[in-house]
Amino acid sequence: MPAVKEKTSVRNRRRAAFPTPRLSEDVISFSECRNNLAACLKRTAETHRLIFITQNGRPTSFIGNVEDWDQFVELKELMEDVRVAEEELDRGECISHSELKAQLMAERKAKMQELMS
């Protein structure tokens, strides 16, 4: 059975990583962004919404809060883990709850014996 990727960070489940953008507020020109960069950064930190930047009237980039980006990446990784797990289940590459519990208990017992010696 393939190894499951280990997650080291705690996921924040209080809000979506990026709320739905408000086009009337969250799309600005490059010039406006350049002239008000500090305010743009403050706004992304407070609202957790992305700011989309346009050049020549076309969206080209965005500014967002780093913590929100980290949460988005973690969510994407979790969704990939679920997709892989579903494929493994479809292929019959799974074990029962009791088998998993027995494996974990055996590993725990081995670790305890290792620590005691």
Q: What is the pLDDT of residues 76-103, one digit of tens each?
A: 999 999 999 999 989 988 888 899 999 9
Would you state the pLDDT for residue 19?
Answer: 78
Would you state the pLDDT for residue 91?
Answer: 92
Q: Read off the pTM.
A: 0.59
Taking 60 as the threshold, does the pLDDT of residue 22 lie above it? yes
Q: What is the pLDDT of residues 40-61, one digit of tens each?
A: 999 999 999 999 999 999 999 9
User: Nearest-CA neighbor of 48 among 18, 27, 12?
Assistant: 18
- Asked if 72 contacts 17 with a C-beta cutoff of 8 angstroms, the reply is yes
Would you state the pLDDT for residue 75?
Answer: 93
Would you state the pLDDT for residue 11?
Answer: 47
Assigned superfamily of 19-64:
YefM-like domain (3.40.1620.10)
CA pair distance 70, 68, nearest whole angstrom: 5
Residue ranges, CATH 3.40.1620.10, the chain:
19-64
Report the chain's mean pLDDT, rounded to a whole number: 86
